[in-house]
Structure 1
Amino acid sequence: MMRPRLRPILLTALLSLSTALAQAEPALDHLPDDALGFVLIRNLEATNAKIESVTKIFQEVSPMPIPAPLPVLKAATGLGEGLNEQGDAVLALLPGQDRGDDLRPLLIVAVGDYAAFAASVNGDAAGEVCRVTIAGEEILVAKRGTHAVLMNVEHRERLEALLTAEPNPLPALAPLADWLAKIDVAAVLTPRGVKLLAMMGQQELAGQRAVVREQLQETLQMYETMLGFLGAEMEVAAAG
């Protein structure tokens, strides 16, 4: 069962935004080739405004004020300074060493002023990989182009490898390019992710099949014992 330690990254993922500066590279270009899937938040500031407009509909029937999500999350995590609030945010899952349940979350978020962003979390202003504490959790953060990238501390080698690679769009996403450019929030499984999901489903099915086979075998043995007893002990039977 997939249980990556997502909490630190998930908290910060909800703070980021999309449609980066015109000259900035898209956040999706920073996805590594082996990404299994991702959630894209396109223009979180605008998305936040849309959520606010929806919550206003329910405000009159709510006994308590319904706060906008972005300010609440900023206050909870301490993030906000230096972020490009019209930039991209992508939360991706990368495969672990065993390609199974050791999944590795990666957050890519657009920043307008990395030095200010780093200062807000006591990070390295030059953008080097460093440990920071966000929402009470230690995570790694580094600068990559016009974005900040964040991963769990146990995945330092994976993050350092990502930083040395050139940003390029994933070929597998080419058919989705127009759709991804228009949608506010998108959840996507890459071909690698689909294969992993299918493999895990087959493994789960194989496990269930083995359990059912064992139960059937036990049931058949019980009936064989009963029939053997009846054949040995009964000479005649009738019903009417």
Structure 2
Amino acid sequence: MIFKKKIGAFTVFVKDNNSIYEKALNDFLSGRMNILKLLRSEDETKVWLIDTEKGPMVLKLFVPKHQKFERILKSLIKKDYYQSLIYKTDNAISHGATMINDIYLLAQRKICNYAYVHIILMEYIDGTQIINLEPISDELKSEIKVVLEQLHTYDMVSGAPHKENTMVTKDGVKFIDLSGKRCTCVSRAKDRMELERYLGIKNLKKDWGYYVYISIKNTRNSIRNIRKKLGLRRR
């Protein structure tokens, strides 16, 4: 169960009201975090592997700096992406999902409904990224396809099932860094098409969600090309 509370200036969502997860947050905020490894460092996103009382966990800091106006507008009409993700993840795992990593805590600083700082504490998955297992065997491709279909039955989508977000573990294939977006026929089709694009796993299901996704993608590409020709977008 996810509990919501205020900790200082942060709105915090914590799994099972566990004090260990809150301590990990406080250690991060006070500069006492025990860092084992820097996993990712980009302009908006930092990800660390940290040591906690419950063993290694992953802590992600996301501070959006681009498309702020668009994000503010979306916050007025859409549910918060990360809030949706922590609740969806908790629900899926409580119903037996084993192909995803758990999310233990989400802390956000907000102005109204717009969150401008996100801190996410997640389960560490001990495994090998698909990118390090190339070429991908047909047997592994089949397993990935089946596991993605299972993920969809829990009302969740990957959103980006590429080589860095697909792991092989001793317990089988797992997807990490999932999407908090709605699991619709279009978002499921997008997952399948991205498996084809990034992992070479051919999509054989062409339902109406597939055709809507292709139509949206083609429209966006056309708009992008027009903007380039008009000099509104750098090549």
Normalising by structure 2, we get a TM-score of 0.22
Higher relative contact order (CA 8 A, sep 6+): 1
Normalising by structure 1, we get a TM-score of 0.21
Higher strand share: 2
Q: Of the two, which has the highest radius of gyration?
A: 1
